[in-house]
Amino acid sequence: MSLSRIIDEYDEQLSLNEEMAQSMVALISALLSNDSIEPHSVSVRVKERNSLSRKIKSKEKYTSIQEITDIVGIRVISNYSDEVDHIAKIIEDNFTIDRINSIDKRASLDPDRFGYLSLHYVVSISKEREGLVEYQRFNGRKVEIQIRSVLQHAWAEIEHDIGYKSTIEVPKHVRRQFSRLASLLELADEGFVKIKEELTSYQSDVEANIGSKPDEVEIDLVTMLEFLNKSDIVSNLDNKVAEVSNFELKELDSEFVSRHLKYLQYFKITKISDLISTISDNENNVLLRANDINGSGEAASKGISVFYLYQILAAKLGNKEKILTFLNEMGLCAEYDRDSFADNLIALSDKFV
Instruction: Say whether both 35 and 124 belong to one domain.
Output: yes
Contacts of 51 (CB under 8 A, 6+ apart): none
Instruction: Say whether both 150 and 245 belong to one domain.
Output: no
Report which of residues 238 and 162 the model is more confident about. Answer: 238
Instruction: Say whether both 136 and 284 belong to one domain.
Output: no
Q: Is residue 208 part of a domain?
A: no
Q: Each residue of 42-52: pLDDT tens digit?
A: 999 999 999 98
Quote the CA–CA distance of 78 and 147 in Å, as a whole number.
7
CB contact at 8 A, 151 and 187: no
Q: Is residue 115 part of a domain?
A: yes
CATH number at residue 122: 3.30.460.10
Instruction: Say whether both 17 and 124 belong to one domain.
Output: yes
343, pLDDT greater than 80: yes
Q: Each residue of 85-136: pLDDT tens digit?
A: 999 999 999 999 999 988 886 665 455 555 556 789 999 999 999 989 999 9
Q: Each residue of 63-83: pLDDT tens digit?
A: 888 888 999 999 999 999 999
Q: Is 25 exposed, middle or buried (0-12, 13-18, 19+ CB in 10 A)?
A: buried
Count CB atoms within 10 A of the CB of residue 183.
Answer: 13
147's enclosing H/E stretch is strand 143-149
Closest to 76 in 3D by CA, of 125, 17, 35, 29: 29
Q: Is residue 194 part of a domain?
A: no
Instruction: Say whether both 111 and 47 belong to one domain.
Output: yes
Instruction: Say whether both 179 and 217 belong to one domain.
Output: no
Instruction: Say whether both 143 and 256 belong to one domain.
Output: no
Instruction: Say whether both 161 and 232 belong to one domain.
Output: no
165, pLDDT greater than 60: no
Q: Is residue 192 part of a domain?
A: no
CB contact at 8 A, 322 and 249: no
Q: Is residue 30 part of a domain?
A: yes
How large is the average pLDDT for residues 8-22? Answer: 93
**Residue 342 is which amino acid?**
A
Q: How confident is the model at residue 207 (pLDDT cuts 50, 70, 90)?
A: confident
Backbone φ and ψ of 132, nearest 5° = -75, 135
Instruction: Say whether both 84 and 218 belong to one domain.
Output: no
Q: Is residue 256 part of a domain?
A: yes
Q: 232-245 vs 283-291: helix axis angle to the nearest 10?
A: 20
How high is the pLDDT of residue 125? 94
Instruction: Say whether both 308 and 267 belong to one domain.
Output: yes
What residue numbers bound the domain in which 318 lies? Answer: 213-349
How high is the pLDDT of residue 152? 86
Instruction: Say whether both 91 and 217 belong to one domain.
Output: no
Domain end call among 186, 201, 226: 186
Q: Is residue 170 part of a domain?
A: yes
292, pLDDT greater than 90: no
187, pLDDT greater than 60: yes
How high is the pLDDT of residue 57? 85
3-state secondary structure of 38: coil
How high is the pLDDT of residue 169? 61
Instruction: Say whether both 236 and 140 belong to one domain.
Output: no
CB contact at 8 A, 276 and 198: no
297, pLDDT greater than 90: no
CB contact at 8 A, 288 and 352: yes
Number of domains observed in the structure of the chain: 2
How high is the pLDDT of residue 77? 96
Q: Is residue 321 part of a domain?
A: yes
CB contact at 8 A, 137 and 17: no
CB contact at 8 A, 75 and 43: yes
Closest to 242 in 3D by CA, of 314, 296, 313: 296
DSSP code, position 105: G
Average pLDDT over the chain reads 88
